[in-house]
Amino acid sequence: MAEKESHIKTTLEDTNIYPPPEEFKKNANINDPEIYKYAEENYEEFWAERAEKLDWYEKWDKVLEWNPPYAKWFVNGKINASYNCVDRHVENGKGDKTALIWEGEPTDESKKLTFSELQDEVSKFANGLKELGVGKGDIVTFYLPMVPELAIGLLACARIGAPHSVVFGGFSPKALRDRLQDSKSKVLVTADGYYRRGKKLKMWENATDALEGADSVEKVVVVDRLERDDISLEEDRDVYYHDLVEDKSTECEPEKMDSEDMLFLMYTSGTTGKPKGVVHTTGGYLTGTSTTHKWVFDIKDDDMYWCTADIGWITGHSYIVYGPLANGATTIMYEGSPDYPDKDRFWQIVEKYGVTVLYTAPTAIRLFMKWGKKYPERCDLSTLRLLGSVGEPINPSAWEWYRDVIGSGKCPIVDTWWQTETGMILITPLPGLTDLKPGSATRPFPGLKADIYDAGGKSLPANQGGYLVINRPWPAMLRTLYEDPERYEQTYWSEYGPDVYFAGDGARVDQDGYFWVVGRIDDVLNVAGHRLSTMEMESALVDHEAVAEAAVVGKPDDLKGHVPVAYVILEGDRKGSDELAQELRAHVGKIIGPIGKPAAIRFSEDLPKTRSGKIMRRILKKLEAGEDYGDTSTLRNPDIVEQLKSKLE
Ligand code: PRX
């Protein structure tokens, strides 16, 4: 405790401020504050210098071509992401360095791949994909648990110029089918199952269910994680991963890709039911993720870096696979649950591998807080030197706990704000430079400009809440939405004009220029760091024969940030019951996946509506938060609000 108190300063807001510890600062990759000024004044040169750290077949003619809202970075440059993440490190004499550590959930299972071994595995799988008919531009969908083949598969696709589309393994067959259809994938890579909390869970049934109606899929690769447990394959369509790669060559020449060729597609929830296919391209994405990884996490050659995200989300793409491997860092991936076999599993992993940099989510930190100190205290966490947070706002008490209990009061914490669409971290501390305030993601990354606007597009003064915008293009930004440029323009670039990126988050900037992100302002819910569309849940509910109308809103939750709560009007004279509530929850779980299940179903005769019949979700949200819901006189049915409120009490 004494150490903590020695560098606390208090502001008018009574927020603790933590400057970088002197030792850390001295050795940090970035410790000269001039970097902000330099990047601001020389924006394109700044990024060109960063891109030069990668290996290009042909250099670009132009750093940035910005025809708002369309950007091209490193125009006409030729590059391969797989080569940059794997081969070049082997060629630079780091072939024997560990690239990837995989820790299975069963405690006796783990794997280490050096960069040379990774090169072999990636090339073999790439050759296997080619044999299945995958070529440049063909989209390959992955529906896998956290197994090494997922990281290898991404790099194999990148090697042959086939964009990947990873669908989170917890999503439902319907969600997978929609994404296979939208992307017209030729090949699906999936698994028989995986381990979760000590149990074998099946994945193959979901995958085969999803394939019904996904007509573009010609071939399916099945990773046999559970030693070929009782599943049957279709001979002409399906092949086991290990059989596919067994006899393949370890040589596979990487394709020379254009900087602007699509590297991957990642579906994410938006404000309508239909997920958006976010398109990321090659040169800019790799430049943005490798730079931010190196600077934000202060990565050195001997670091043991662990990001606990799932590769099914953008965090895993950018900061388990591409960023770390482009930097030649050792990256760890873990298959399972944080409480198997006991609630100290994360800390056992930190001790086992001597993790130095840990990147996780506030929802996990709050869970660890609830479980108590005794679990981390059982393990040696002294190797940790830097901690990261991502996915949702971190409440200051969780921040302080993370710092004190996990980081023994000495590790800086980088609270990183970004999105699937931004591809890379955009608002973040640089740990050797930035004074930290618990709960604030601090400042935009060097060269970037962010601001808070009011509804009319006016930049707001300090400490006034408004909409978060980004005022400059950045290399890893999304280029479009897959086959839907109108939706791209309309969602991100129409609110304030085509050169202002509308993030969809509410935020404020304080008197020191620090950003405080509050959360989504649209119909997107952030549940335990997972992004879900309330519209998608509502359409899943009305898909059930008993439901006439539904409205889903987020209710604040101590652990998960928010949980979805569904207000439901039943068909005809049907009556709500506990059984029906369970059935509806299960129904949504089946359509979206377990993470989409509403925490509660509230049956109601009516819902607050405007005179034109629009459901006022804002009022329901306030009711759930226990906040004042304001004036209801413009409603068609103002009495319903009081009724709903009294039911909640
Ligand atoms: O609301 C913000 C929240 O997560 C959203 C992006 O979700 P997704 O695309 O799934 O990507 C998550 C991982 C990058 C944002 O619009 N968010 C993310 N990081 C933070 C955050 N909110 C506050 N603080 C953060 N550090």
Q: Which atom of ligand 1 is nearest to the CA of 313?
A: 10
Shortest CA distance to 603 belongs to which of 563, 642, 574? 574
**Per CATH, which fold does 22-492 belong to?**
Rossmann fold (3.40.50)
Q: What pLDDT is stored for residue 13 in this prediction?
A: 53
Q: How far apart are CA 290 and CA 328, in angstroms?
A: 10
How many angstroms separate the alpha carbon of residue 404 from the centre of ligand 1?
24
Q: Which atom of ligand 1 is nearest to the CA of 421?
A: 9
Q: What pLDDT is stored for residue 630 in this prediction?
A: 85
Report the residue among 390, 468, 521, 525 best suited for mutation to probe ligand 1: largest number of ligand atoms under 8 A from its CB: 390
ω into 69 cis (within 30 of 0): yes
Report the residue among 445, 502, 531, 562 best suited for mutation to probe ligand 1: largest number of ligand atoms under 8 A from its CB: 531
| Regions of the chain where pLDDT drops below 50 | 1-12
Residues with CB under 6 A from ligand 1: 268, 314-315, 390-393, 415-420, 441, 503-505, 517, 519-520, 526, 531
Q: What pLDDT is stored for residue 517 in this prediction?
A: 95
Q: Mark residue 581 as left, alpha or beta (left: phi above 0; alpha: psi -120 to 50; beta: remaining).
A: alpha
Q: What pLDDT is stored for residue 270 in this prediction?
A: 77
ω into 429 cis (within 30 of 0): no
Q: How far apart are CA 551 and CA 565, in angstroms?
A: 8
Q: How far apart are CA 29 and CA 11, in angstroms?
A: 28
Q: Which atom of ligand 1 is nearest to the CA of 309?
A: 13
Angle between helices 578-592 and 173-183 (to 10 degrees): 30
Which residue owns the Cα nearest ligand 1 atom 4? 391
Q: How far apart are CA 242 and CA 248, in angstroms?
A: 10
Q: What pLDDT is stored for residue 150 in this prediction?
A: 98
Q: Which atom of ligand 1 is nearest to the CA of 427?
A: 26
Q: Which atom of ligand 1 is nearest to the CA of 503?
A: 16
Angle between helices 173-183 and 204-211 (to 10 degrees): 50
How many angstroms separate the alpha carbon of residue 448 from the centre of ligand 1?
17
Length of the chain: 649
- Domain residue limits, the chain: 22-492, 526-648
Which residue owns the Cα nearest ligand 1 atom 5? 419
Q: What pLDDT is stored for residue 14 in this prediction?
A: 56
How many angstroms separate the alpha carbon of residue 39 from the centre of ligand 1?
24
Which residue owns the Cα nearest ligand 1 atom 26? 417
Ramachandran angles phi, psi of 135, nearest 5°: -130, 180
Q: Do domains 22-492 and 526-648 have the same CATH topology?
A: no
How many angstroms separate the alpha carbon of residue 115 from the centre of ligand 1?
31
Q: How far apart are CA 608 and CA 208, in angstroms?
A: 41
In one letter, which amino acid is 478? L
Which residue owns the Cα nearest ligand 1 atom 23? 393
Q: What pLDDT is stored for residue 4 in this prediction?
A: 30
Q: Which atom of ligand 1 is nearest to the CA of 518?
A: 23
**Per CATH, which fold does 526-648 belong to?**
GMP Synthetase; Chain A, domain 3 (3.30.300)
How many angstroms separate the alpha carbon of residue 445 from the centre of ligand 1?
16
Report the residue among 434, 478, 502, 517 best suited for mutation to probe ligand 1: largest number of ligand atoms under 8 A from its CB: 517
Q: How far apart are CA 169 and CA 189, in angstroms?
A: 11
How many angstroms separate the alpha carbon of residue 532 from the centre of ligand 1?
12
Which residue owns the Cα nearest ligand 1 atom 24? 393
Which residue owns the Cα nearest ligand 1 atom 6? 419
How many angstroms separate the alpha carbon of residue 92 from the centre of ligand 1?
36
Q: What pLDDT is stored for residue 9 in this prediction?
A: 34
Q: Which atom of ligand 1 is nearest to the CA of 420?
A: 9
How many angstroms separate the alpha carbon of residue 562 from the centre of ligand 1?
13
Q: What pLDDT is stored for residue 12 in this prediction?
A: 39
How many angstroms separate the alpha carbon of residue 544 from the centre of ligand 1?
31
CB 253 within 8 A of CB 265: no
Angle between helices 617-625 and 639-648 (to 10 degrees): 30
Cβ neighbours of residue 23 closer than 8 Å, sequence gap 6 or more: none
How many angstroms separate the alpha carbon of residue 441 from the centre of ligand 1?
11
Which residue owns the Cα nearest ligand 1 atom 10? 531
Which residue owns the Cα nearest ligand 1 atom 11? 419
Q: How far apart are CA 141 and CA 154, in angstroms?
A: 10
Beta partners for 196?
A: 199
Which residue owns the Cα nearest ligand 1 atom 3? 392
Q: What pLDDT is stored for residue 647 in this prediction?
A: 87
How many angstroms separate the alpha carbon of residue 572 from the centre of ligand 1?
40
Q: What pLDDT is stored for residue 227 in this prediction?
A: 77
How many angstroms separate the alpha carbon of residue 634 from the centre of ligand 1?
34
How many angstroms separate the alpha carbon of residue 419 from the centre of ligand 1?
5
How many angstroms separate the alpha carbon of residue 417 from the centre of ligand 1?
6
Q: Which atom of ligand 1 is nearest to the CA of 504?
A: 16
Which residue owns the Cα nearest ligand 1 atom 22? 392
Report the residue among 278, 419, 508, 532 best suited for mutation to probe ligand 1: largest number of ligand atoms under 8 A from its CB: 419
Q: What pLDDT is stored for residue 15 in this prediction?
A: 76
Supply the DSSP string of 58-77, one letter for each residue.
B--SEEEEEETTEEEEEET-
Which residue owns the Cα nearest ligand 1 atom 25? 417
How many angstroms separate the alpha carbon of residue 393 from the centre of ligand 1?
8
Beta partners for 165?
A: 141, 265
How many angstroms separate the alpha carbon of residue 520 from the centre of ligand 1?
9
Q: Which atom of ligand 1 is nearest to the CA of 318?
A: 14
Which residue owns the Cα nearest ligand 1 atom 21? 392
**pTM value > 0.95:** no
Q: Which two tokens stand for residue 592?
A: 């979206």
CA distances from 335 to 67, 198, 576, 625 (A): 42, 11, 39, 35
How many angstroms separate the alpha carbon of residue 529 from the centre of ligand 1?
7
